[in-house]
């Protein structure tokens, strides 16, 4: 109980403090409120213990005696952005099949049965920038589960039968994309903004059909390496026991001597305009925005607060308050600056009636322009700071959360003191700095606007765009077709 008690003791008062801070903005701070505010300001997350193996693998460890469980997660640098030469979808297949295709001396079926008998779980995934293999087991069984976990990470079998099953399921999922307008809009937006680059390519049926076991083997050899990898372990296990397991099962993992090269550049210049995809939906879906910024620009605290004010905080955001609650133009709406490894996106996503496409877009742009013209009030900004504090502490709700968060932040090259200084930086943001983000980071004239809807929605939008003095008058309107991705750009 000791470790969890410490965490709960620190987190729960902070939640109360966040709520009190919001209320205090309206009625002033009392002595108790000031004390809670001081506790928020002095909050420092618990830091895990760490050590490093000669092969470059870093281990993060945090003991947790509350429950008889042990969890671990191995993070490896590299993902789909480094899968040049392999069909789209190969990295995702490799991540899935490390676990599902058998490992070490166990076939896929034997692996399933063994983990079921132990009431344990091992999961593997590969994404755009990194991959992960995780396990969860009773502490009494960790000596049995950890070797299986290591086999999945280091010695996957990639059985043909399981790969064939994955391919069939993936192709069926691709064929069903057109059934969800949000998926259609998001895929089209991604392709129009990033073009034919590693950031814009989307797997289609022919890509999945081309994936072979040989592709998975080569990708595993390339991407799953100890150099720069991080293993996060937490639970009811002594450090000496954890060190022995890691050394025994990962100590011989061969280092490559270097990290992967930087992520590929993104030199594509998207063409602003309104792009319409006609599909038989009763409502229209819109995703609009522009190329954005890399992670951790110097103004990242200001960006986080801009997002809260503008469109990332649900019913508390300006987009929701104006476009949905006040005007009733959308079923749902949100928007934000979303940084990424090289260039992220700034976007607004909304769903509306077919006849309301143009006014919903227009009013969304007006909300952005309002933030560009004048800063939020001190009260509004104070409420958003309190909301960030309230939610932020849940990143440290358990030792497993803490070690995984530390690992992922380090993997993505966040500064070592990011969590220790984040709330201080948020508290220091002034209203005028939020307006500066709106002005410097957004340019509606560069927007790519994707609309998915019926022919009636297209006709209404086309008619409204004939007004060259309106906010959409400067944009061209083009129809695109969509099967499992956009065609005919």
Mean pLDDT of 133-140: 98
Domain ranges within the chain, ordered by starting residue: 1-43, 49-183+191-250, 273-388+426-487
User: Which residues, listed in sequence order, are joined to residue 121 by a DSSP beta bridge?
Assistant: 136
For the chain, the helix, strand and coil percentages under 3-state DSSP, each to the nearest 5 = 50, 20, 30
CATH architecture of 273-388+426-487: 2-Layer Sandwich (3.30)
Q: Computed from CA positions of residues 128, 395, 69, 46, in that sequence, does the dihedral angle turn out positive or negative?
A: positive
Using CA atoms, how far residue 43 sits from 9, 11, 15, 181, 299, in Å, is 12, 9, 12, 43, 22
CA angle in degrees (0–180, nearest 5) for 293-298-303: 60
Q: What is the mean pLDDT of residues 298-314?
A: 97
State pTM to two decimals.
0.90
- DSSP-assigned beta bridge partners for residue 275: 450, 478
- What pLDDT digit, counting tens, does each position of 177-199 carry? 999 999 999 999 999 999 999 99
Q: Does the structural domain 49-183+191-250 have CATH classification 3.30.830.10?
A: yes
Reported as a single tens digit per residue, the pLDDT across 95-104 is: 999 999 999 9
Query: Per-residue pLDDT averaged across 48-52, rounded?
Result: 97
Kindly report, residue by residue over 56-80, the tens digit of the pLDDT: 999 999 999 999 999 999 999 999 9
Determine contact, residues 328/375, Cβ cutoff 8 Å: no
Paired with 283 in beta bridges are 353
Contact 131, 78 (CB under 8 A): yes
CATH topology agreement for domains 49-183+191-250 and 273-388+426-487: yes
- Mean pLDDT score of the chain, rounded to an integer? 92
Distance CA 51, CA 247 (A): 11
Between CA 234 and CA 72 the distance in angstroms is 6
Residue whose structure tokens are 């281990």: 59
Q: Do 453 and 479 form a contact (C-beta atoms < 8 A)?
A: no
Angle at alpha carbon of residue 43, lines to 42 and 46, rounded to 5°: 135
Beta strands, E only, 139-263: 230-235
């Amino acid at each position: 109980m000791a470790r969890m008690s410490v965490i709960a003791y620190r987190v729960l008062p902070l939640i109360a403090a966040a709520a009190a801070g919001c209320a205090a903005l309206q009625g002033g701070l009392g002595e108790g409120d000031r004390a809670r505010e001081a506790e928020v300001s002095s909050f420092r997350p618990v830091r895990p213990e760490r050590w490093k193996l000669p092969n470059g693998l870093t281990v993060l460890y945090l003991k947790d005696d509350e429950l008889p469980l042990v969890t671990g997660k191995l993070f490896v640098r590299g993902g789909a952005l480094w899968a040049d030469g392999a069909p789209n979808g190969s990295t995702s297949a490799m991540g899935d099949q490390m676990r599902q295709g058998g490992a070490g001396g166990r076939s896929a079926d034997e692996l399933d049965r063994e983990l079921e008998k132990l009431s344990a779980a091992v999961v593997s995934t590969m994404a755009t920038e990194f991959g992960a293999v995780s396990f969860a087991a009773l502490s009494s069984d960790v000596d049995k589960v950890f070797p299986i976990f290591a086999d999945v990470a280091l010695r996957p079998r990639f059985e043909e039968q399981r790969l064939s099953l994955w391919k069939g399921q993936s192709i069926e999922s691709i064929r069903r994309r057109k059934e969800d307008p949000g998926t259609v809009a998001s895929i089209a937006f991604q392709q129009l903004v990033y073009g034919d680059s590693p950031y814009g390519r989307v797997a289609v049926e022919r890509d999945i059909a081309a994936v072979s076991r040989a592709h998975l083997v080569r990708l595993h050899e390339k991407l799953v390496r100890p150099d720069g990898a991080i293993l996060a372990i937490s639970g009811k296990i002594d450090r000496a026991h954890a060190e022995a397991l890691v050394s025994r099962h990962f100590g011989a993992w061969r280092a490559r001597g270097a990290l992967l090269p930087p992520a590929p550049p993104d030199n594509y210049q998207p063409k602003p305009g309104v792009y319409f995809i006609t599909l038989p939906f009763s409502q229209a879906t819109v995703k609009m925005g522009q190329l954005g910024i890399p992670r951790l620009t110097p103004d990242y605290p200001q960006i986080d607060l801009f997002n809260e004010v503008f469109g990332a905080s649900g019913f508390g955001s300006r987009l929701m308050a104006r476009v949905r609650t006040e005007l009733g133009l959308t079923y749902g709406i949100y928007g934000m600056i979303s940084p990424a490894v090289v260039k992220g996106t700034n976007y607004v996503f909304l769903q509306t009636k077919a006849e309301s496409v143009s006014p919903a877009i227009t009013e969304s742009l007006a909300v952005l322009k309002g933030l560009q013209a004048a800063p939020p009030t001190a009260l509004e900004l104070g409420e958003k700071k309190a909301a960030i504090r309230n939610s932020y502490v849940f990143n440290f709700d358990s030792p497993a959360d803490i070690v995984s968060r530390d690992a992922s932040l380090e993997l993505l090259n966040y500064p070592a003191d990011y969590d220790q200084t984040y709330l201080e930086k948020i508290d220091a943001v002034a209203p005028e700095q939020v307006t500066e983000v709106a002005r410097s980071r957004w340019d509606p004239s560069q927007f790519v606007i994707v609309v998915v809807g019926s022919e009636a929605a297209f006709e209404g939008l086309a008619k409204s765009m004939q007004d060259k003095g309106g906010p959409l008058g400067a944009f061209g309107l083009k129809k695109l077709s969509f099967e499992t991705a956009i065609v005919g750009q």
